[in-house]
Structure 1
Amino acid sequence: MKKVIIAGGTGFIGTYFEKRFNDIGYDVKIISRHPHNIQWDDKKAIVEALEGSELLINLAGKSVNCRYNEKNMKEIMSSRIKTTNILGKCILDCNNPPKVWMNSSTATIYRHAEDRPMTEENGEIGTGFSVDVATNWEKEFFSFNLPKTRKLALRTAIVLGKNGGVIIPYRNLTRFGLGGIQGNGKQKFSWIHIEDLFQIVLFLNNRNDLEGVFNCSSPNPVSNAELMKLLREEMNVKIGLPAPKWMLEIGAAVIRTETELVLKSRWVLPEKLEKEGFIFTYNTLDKTLRNIL
């Protein structure tokens, strides 16, 4: 039985991946802080799980949906660096290490882009805390020399699915008539359907010739204005009041999050995946929203 290890596998993406891997006959092991899973401080158990595995997927890290105060910023950074470091060291201790290690990264690594899309080859790395997290995360990941393990960093856009993630707050805003543009509405929204993300993992796992960084995002990003319009249409809501930046700043403070999550223009294209022949099932946002709503 093929074995896959999902680190940080108890969140929205991890639970979906666990179910889908079980569906296709994998033995799935989860590393997390939850008592019934393999614990992060149990190095022996982690090495044992990794031995002879086909694939390790690391999704671990504190959610960025919080206020960027000193305590949270420290936890966001350290939770990613520490867990990646633990996994790298445990792989080094394996006699028969995982064939493939896929580590989460984020499409937020690129700069705010309203002028042109960012690809793996010509994308420009941005500045600020979120970018620092992404660059340090990837630096830690690629610092390990693992000749028997192929490594891929997944620069993932905003993940959309039925039972979690950002679709829930967007849906609630739209339902209560607040589904208008946010900010000026021009900022780009790059996303990926959770099933396409799973299929990317399978695709990359089967391609022994591929490694390095991959943008995991739909090939058809939209503006914030288009996103909110499609949400209103799909939910049959006629009114959508806009939320200017000053209003978002107040709202973000109240619900303990940051406006960057909706105001940063993420214009990301999956150039390498498409060049290698990956075909998206949910390539447009209307098709995606129809499926998950």
Structure 2
Amino acid sequence: MGDGRVVIGGSTGFIGRHLERKYRAEGREVVTISRTGADLGWADQAGIDAAVDGASLVVGLAGKSVSCRYTPANRALILSSRLDTTAALSTSIGRAAAPPRLWVNSSTATIYRHAEDRPQTEVDGELGTGFSVEVAKSWEKALFADDLPATRRVALRTAIVLGDGGVLGPLRALARMGLGGTQLDGRWPVTRARRAAGTAHFPGARGGRQRFSWIHVDDVTGIIDFLEQHPELDGPVNAATPHPVDNRAFMAAVRRALGVRFGPPTPRWMLEIGAFGIRTETELILKSRWVLPGRLTTAGYAFRHPDLDEALRASGLGT
């Protein structure tokens, strides 16, 4: 664990709430920034400047949820909400008389290509294409844009985060309704507009074999502690368990945790209709994300929840 003031940008989200509780419980001074419900708003650049000056750690987590339809308006907000808030933190760090030693900023494991053939690490991973990947690239570019020689910067390429809340809430509801089966890819019409916008998901892995890289929220907070203690780590860092599974195994583990014996497979056409109904995109469950934490493993980070079944129990899924 570190010490000194922590500034959390995007403090009202799933990870931000966990971090704020953790740091306050440890007795660290915490300053939160969010659109609402925080110490500071993003429009208060002077307030952010004062909070960052003398802080030991800045964590940037802000950004509109990608669980929405990728309309032109939503795409613009997904991008601007990440770039504008990252720029605000970068500006404050650049102005600080006593800049923070470490700035950890969110990125996403979705930056890598759809991978069925081999896992992606920071060293040999291949970046993908399409809207979500371009957002991730732009987000990381904003993190490293300014010359901040006194502040180490880490782009935390985070996999799907498990914990009490977040993605597991909808999955619990689906499984208990008997819809917790394997999510199957397949053919689906792609419009010219979606192709041009880079928001289309083209058919990939069959039989629910798309990879599912995940991490428990306790390990996200543990990794940030680890980064404070390991000044040799900077640049991109994959935040994902060393034991990814595929969609078939993940959904089976969800059913086991809930005591649900059976869940019929859900074909692509049903997923598309359901995604439209709840205003989200099938890419979030059909893209094969196969990511390993190469740099963390080499540096000696010990995962608190490396096993999926245990991680789901620790998330309170069966309660």
Give the TM-score of the pair, scaled to structure 1: 0.98
1:228 partner letter: M
Tell me, in whole angstroms, the C-alpha distance in 1 between the residues paired with 2:284 and 2:16. 21
Give the C-alpha shift of residue 143 in structure 1: 1.1
Q: What does residue 27 of structure 1 align with?
A: 29
1:220-255 CA distances to partner (integer Å, 9 max, x unpaired)? 000100011111111111120211111101110111
Q: What does residue 66 of structure 1 align with?
A: 68
Tell me, in whole angstroms, the C-alpha distance in 1 between the residues paired with 2:67 and 2:10. 16
Q: What does residue 194 of structure 1 align with?
A: 217
Q: What does residue 123 of structure 1 align with?
A: 125
Aligned partner of 2:226 among 203, 212, 234: 203
1:55-86 CA distances to partner (integer Å, 9 max, x unpaired)? 00000000000000000000001110111111
Aligned partner of 1:132 among 113, 131, 134: 134
Give the C-alpha shift of residue 24 in structure 1: 1.3
Give the TM-score of the pair, scaled to structure 2: 0.90
1:25-61 CA distances to partner (integer Å, 9 max, x unpaired)? 2111001111552111111110110111010000000
> 1:2 touches 1:25 (CA, 8 Å); kept in 2?
no
Secondary structure of the residue aligned to 1:165 is: coil
2:171 partner letter: Y
* Cα-Cα RMSD: 0.9
Give the C-alpha shift of residue 281 in structure 1: 1.1
Secondary structure of the residue aligned to 2:8 is: strand
1:100-123 CA distances to partner (integer Å, 9 max, x unpaired)? 101100000001111110000111
Secondary structure of the residue aligned to 2:75 is: helix
Q: What does residue 281 of structure 1 align with?
A: 304
Aligned partner of 1:246 among 269, 279, 294: 269
> 1:55 touches 1:100 (CA, 8 Å); kept in 2?
yes
Could you list the structure 1 runs, at least 4 aligned residues long, displaced by more than 4 angstroms after superposition. none
> 1:32 touches 1:39 (CA, 8 Å); kept in 2?
yes
Which residues of structure 1 form unaligned runs of 5+?
none
2:168 partner letter: I
1:65-214 map, 5 Å: 65-162=67-164, 164-183=165-184, 184-214=207-237
**Residue 80 (structure 2) pairs with residue 57 (structure 1):** no
Tell me, in whole angstroms, the C-alpha distance in 2 between the residues paired with 1:71 and 1:191. 29
Secondary structure of the residue aligned to 1:126 is: coil
1:139-179 CA distances to partner (integer Å, 9 max, x unpaired)? 111111101111111000000001x2111111111111111
Tell me, in whole angstroms, the C-alpha distance in 2 between the residues paired with 1:145 and 1:104. 19
- Distance change (3 Å), C-alpha of 1:36 and 1:9: closer
Tell me, in whole angstroms, the C-alpha distance in 1 between the residues paired with 2:232 and 2:274. 47
2:128 partner letter: G
Count of aligned pairs? 292
Give the C-alpha shift of residue 266 in structure 1: 0.5
Which residues of structure 2 form unaligned runs of 5+?
185-206
1:117 partner letter: P
Give the C-alpha shift of residue 256 in structure 1: 0.3
Tell me, in whole angstroms, the C-alpha distance in 2 between the residues paired with 1:29 and 1:69. 33
